[in-house]
Structure 1
Amino acid sequence: MSMTKHEQILEHIELLPVGEKISVRGIAKNLDVSEGTAYRAIKEAEAIGLVSTIERVGTIRIEKKATDQLERLSFNELVKIIDGDVLAGHTGLDKILDRFVIGAMTEKSMERYITPGALMIVGDREGVQRLALMQGAAVLLTGGFDVSDSVKGLADELALPILRTAYDTFTVATMINRAISDQMIKKDMTLVEDLQIPLSRTYYLTTKNTISDYHQLVENTHFTRFPVVNKAHRLVGMVTTKDVAKKQDSQSIETVMTKEPRYAKSHMSVASVGHQMIWDGLEIVPVVEDSLNLIGIISRRDVMKSMQSSQEQPQMPHKLTDQIANQIVKKERSGQEEPVFTFIVSPQMVNNLGTLSFGVLNQIISHVVRQTILAKHNYHSVIEQISLYYFQLIQMDSEIEIDAQIIEVGRRSAKLDVCVTKDNMMASKAIVVTQLMDPV
């Protein structure tokens, strides 16, 4: 099966040496494709980690990182995290770690904390080791201790792992807590596969269908936009009312469809897909496999509902963005619709020089902009572009004031002027362009 132009571009990019600079115009010229096709392929390459766009440098080929497929933390994965080894209970390594308990109490006191699926972190205390195993918990020995043969036999019999690490209890507990936290964050992120309508409930047409077939499908479903696939079931186009207007019923769908449409893949985040749907005004986006075979669709309505819901819900403070948002204080101003915001620079938010990190300042401004648009226009928004100017360093423990003024609002986007002041002096200024989502 021959590759599409899109696939050819992705293959070309993947074969480029790491550090090679690429451009839409260069790809279009070298591979004899349209700049639109080159642009979409480069965006896809960026989404899958083949390239990265760096300010003032451009788009360059980067080393693709291996995708972490870990969805739940098993004892087998835990061994890798703690640089440990397995002393017994090898057949239970695929079991999932639910929580961990530090064995620093008396045996009687810790009984109520030990549950099946837990991990007991303990040193050279055989009584605690046996207690944990009998109550369905695995055992992790810190400090490099060993266990008796009888305890190993019990672990093998119950298929509960006994792990060992050279790290101390505090260090290993911190490592496990971080791993569990990372998994919680991944679990909370909504992917396309969580919202996509499966192929069994997707209406689509083939290149052999006619405009008459399109009208019949519209009459039966009351939808007006459909993916178009070829005989191999590969996505080749989209067809809408605009495409078929004033055309003969006998005309083939292939001759009127919009070719090389935008599409999504199941592993993509809903936020990234929604960003493009908002900007391009797309009501639905086909979902495809790597081979471009159609496997379903995702609708703008479902994406907007999901994105708005995620912004409205209180977030667990385990992500840096949540920590930053929680430290921003909103203050209403009499006589003005836009609120003003304050932020005290904590030690976690500074760089090695003890001043506010450039990335944190970007995040503060992004949060304030979204809150300002929500307060005045009742729209959720997605940041499209930030031009940030840093006039003076902002020291740790400083209190800054962030004032975002809306310059203009269009049907799809808004532009804001943001001033950051410290001690009544301007410390930073930004011009921010955002995409507007559907109203709340």
Structure 2
Amino acid sequence: MHSRFPVVDQNMKVIGMITSKDVMGHEQDVLIEKIMTKNPMTVSGSTSVASSAHMMVWEGIEVLPVVNDANRLQGIVSRQDVLKALQMIQRQPQVGETLDDTVTNQLVLAKGKTKDEDIFRCQVTPQMTNHLGTISYGVFTTIVTEAANRVLRGYKKGDLVVENMTIYFIKPVQIDSVIEIYPKVLEVGRKFGKVDIEAFNDGVLVGKAMMMCQLIDRH
């Protein structure tokens, strides 16, 4: 059941939104146009589910009107509709690809401020999110582990096994956001490595991790 409704004119063009809270406390003969929220946010039929979820979470709204190119009302989409769609996407098996593969493929190397600085970027896709539409803890763990793995390969060929990891999840990250990962090697030996990792979104620190890894030679 919704508590937010679009207001349209005689041509079905969306001119505002009204909520039950807006109506409460007013006289019965007060016109809706006097208390509605004008110029509301809308989406079109071609807006992605991910973008709709981002708008809803970011703006704190439960319902968005769906309009055509002429701003005529076509329907509404609720946060519940969006979350159901995202969950369906997550359940759909990707042929030959695991979630770890998806995360690994999204993680790309970018240029740092200095020649020796490695920065990785990763865009948050629907498959990486939880039921709230934000990046899941498990995916964030996979991202920082993969970033540490790649940066340690620059020091020593082989694979790593995480022996100890401490993660601080500071701020939720929305769908379609781009995370920048800054891994910094603190120590590296013949059989171990220690990496400090910071994650940023739009310049804001969203997570940190400290990893102790065992390095395994490839034979």
TM-score, normalized by length of structure 2? 0.57
In structure 1, what is the Cα distance between the partners aligned to 2:18 and 2:25? Answer: 14
Judging changes above 3 Å, is the alpha-carbon distance between structure 1 residues 237 and 327 closer, same or farther for their aligned structure 2 residues? closer
Contact 1:403 1:420 in 2 (8 A): no
Q: Take 1:351 and 1:243, find their aligned partners in 2: how far apart are those partners?
A: 48
Computing the radius of gyration from Cα coordinates, the structure with the larger value is 1
Query: Which secondary structure state, in structure 2, belongs to the residue aligned with residue 254 of structure 1?
Result: helix
- Structure 1: how far apart are the matches of 2:167 and 2:104? 18
Asked if residue 362 in structure 1 is aligned to residue 121 in structure 2, the reply is: yes
Q: Give the number of equivalent residue pairs.
A: 166
Unpaired runs of at least 5, structure 2: 137-146, 173-180, 208-219
**Cross-structure match for 1:251:** 30
> Does 2:103 match 1:325?
yes
With over 3 angstroms needed to count, the CA separation of the structure-2 counterparts of 1:223 and 1:293, relative to structure 1, is: same
SS where residue 94 of structure 2 aligns? coil
The DSSP-based 3-state class of the residue aligned with 1:250 is coil
- Residue pair 2:53, 2:79 contacting (<8 A) in 1 also: yes
Query: What residue in structure 1 maps to residue 84 of structure 2?
Result: 305
Q: Residues 73-222 of structure 1 correspond to what in structure 2 (within 5 A)?
A: none
Q: In 1, distance between residues paired with 2:109 and 2:184?
A: 17
Distance 1:317 1:363 in 2: 21
Q: Is the 8 A contact 1:237 1:261 kept in 2?
A: yes
Q: How far apart, CA to CA, are the structure 2 residues paired with 1:273 and 1:285?
A: 8
Which residue in 2 is equivalent to 1:282?
Answer: 61
Match of 2:198 in 1: 429
Change in CA separation of 1:241 and 1:356 when aligned onto 2, cut-off 3 Å: same
Question: Once the 2 structures are TM-superposed, how far is the Cα of residue 429 of structure 1 from its aligned partner?
Answer: 2.0
> Structure 2: how far apart are the matches of 1:430 and 1:293?
42
Conserved? CA contact 1:227–1:237, under 8 Å: yes
Q: Which residue of structure 1 lines up, in the alignment, with residue 168 of structure 2?
A: 405
User: Quick check: which one's strand share is greater?
Assistant: 2
Residues 316, 356 of structure 1: alpha-carbon distance in 2 compared, 3 angstrom cutoff? farther
**How much has 1:362 moved relative to structure 2?**
2.4
Which structure has more relative contact order (CA 8 Å, sep 6+)? It is 2
- Given candidates 134, 143, 153, the residue that maps to 1:381 is 134
Residue segments in structure 1 that go unaligned for 5+ positions in a row:
1-221, 329-344, 384-389, 410-417, 435-440
State how far apart, in whole Å, the 2-side matches of 1:357 and 1:324 are. Answer: 21
The residue correspondences of 1:344-355 to structure 2 (distance < 5 A) are: none
Q: Percent identity?
A: 28
Map of 1:269 onto structure 2: 48
RMSD: 4.4
CA contact (8 A) 1:308 1:380 kept: no
* Higher-helix-fraction structure: 1
Tell me if structure 1 keeps the 8 A contact 2:63–2:77. Answer: yes
